[in-house]
Amino acid sequence: MDKKLVIAMVGLPARGKSTMARKIAGTLKRDEVNVRIFNNGDIRRQLSPENTSGPELFSPENPEGVKFREKCARINLGSAREFLKTKGGVAIIDAANVTCRRRKLIRETFPDFPILFIECMNTDEEALEANLERKAFLKEFRHLSREKALDSFLKRIDFYESVYEPLHEERNFILVDSFEGCILQDKLTDLLPYYDRIRDLITTRIVRNLFLVRHGETYFNLENRIGGDSDLTDKGLAQASGLAEYFANERIPIIFTSNYKRTLQTAAPIAEKQEHCSIISLPEFNEIYAGVCDGMTYSEIREEMPEVAASRKKDKYDYVYPDGEGYVTMEKRIHRGLQKVFYLNNYDDNIMIVGHRAVNRMILSDFVFRPKDEVPYIYMPQNRYYHIQVDPHKKIFELKPYAPKAD
């Protein structure tokens, strides 16, 4: 039974369990480990394709629902056991497993295999709310309106919360903040295979494909004005259409933008070329606010506020506009925006961010080490995009054109 392991996910719905399971499985597979995810929900949807979205199925006061979900769990655990008894190395049980009774069933099913429980939680209410909004677009809710789907899912969570029992008596467990990507608590009683690797994966950001795009040309760009909320020019709209055509064959389930029109107008045609693509606007990705200089040209600033121009030129990264922001003050909000992106995005999905010049510079510097005094000068064109891949085995960083001829 050497190198065999059961990983049982634990946590309320929408806390990042499935994403964490895929993250662990994907990397262990690259390490040539035979790993498979066993999802209770998949069994439930197979056995009852017409009865998966109603919250009453998850009520602890519904005997038929309890019995049915117990049946699904036993089938799923049985499949995982058969997998481990043959050539399987790691079986990941992807389910809520929020009661001591259910976790006891897991231990009884695998008396001869080591078990690691990984509990996912999230205390960031804003990120959780955004994740819940996404759940309304799940396949099992497509016959419902967005409002009814969300209401159904929230009621489902309430039922899980009513019986929720945190980990405490399990021999081996890790408590994870899935939003922050950090380990809050762990307990190791047995010698577990892959344990160090799993801890590393939990705390490591893994990016399958991140497409970092700057918005198309705006009227403010033509006038060399900073900030504002300008619309795209005809050329900018053509650039957005070019991006849409270029990425039409890439699956992009979510496009993250700022709250400004220029990023939304760039993202819209890209989303239209996708199937079931959501646009999520994050204020954390709003362009650097120039305060009293917002809307001015750089020439006007040099002429009317020479002290501002001189001070910023001397230390562009640490300079903060009067009543505004600087690169240095954007650090926390950009970091928080990225946390939201990776919390809301599934591990194996492509990611697109349509941002601004300064914002994208900050995002890029989060992946590719650049001294802070170099960050304000990172090249951020409007006719190319940055492609980023990061995993425990490699890091790829490339600037690519999205049209045959860059203009």
Burial 34-70 (b: 16+ CB within 10 A, else e): bbebbbbbebbbeeeeeebbebebbbeeeeebeebbe
Interacting residues of 10 by C-beta distance below 8 A, sequence separation 6+: 17, 96, 97, 98, 103, 117, 118, 119, 120, 167, 173
Catalytic residue (one of 22, 103, 262, 312):
262
Q: Strand pairing of 182-188 and 90-94? A: unpaired
Q: Which residues pair with 37 in a beta bridge?
A: 92
The distance of Cα 199 from the centroid of its chain, to the nearest Å, equals: 19
Exposed / middle / buried, residue 313 (Cβ in 10 Å: 0-12, 13-18, 19+): exposed
Catalytic residue (one of 40, 76, 221, 345):
221
40 as an active site residue: the answer is no
Q: Which tokens sit at 173?
A: 């467990």
Interacting residues of 286 by C-beta distance below 8 A, sequence separation 6+: 258, 259, 260, 356, 359
Q: Which residues pair with 213 in a beta bridge?
A: 354, 385
221 as an active site residue: the answer is yes
With tokens 């199937």, the residue in question is 275
291, 226 in Cβ contact below 8 A? no
89, 35 in Cβ contact below 8 A? yes
Catalytic residue (one of 287, 312, 336, 345):
287
Q: What is the spatial distance between Cα 141 and Cα 133, in angstroms, rounded to a whole number?
A: 12
Catalytic residue (one of 356, 357, 360, 361):
356
Catalytic residue (one of 22, 69, 103, 215):
215
51, 57 in Cβ contact below 8 A? yes
Catalytic residue (one of 22, 214, 312, 336):
214
Interacting residues of 102 by C-beta distance below 8 A, sequence separation 6+: 73, 95, 96
214 as an active site residue: the answer is yes
97 as an active site residue: the answer is no
**H-type helices in 110-218, by residue range?**
125-135, 146-163, 195-203
287 as an active site residue: the answer is yes
Q: Which residues are catalytic?
A: 214-215, 221, 262, 287, 356
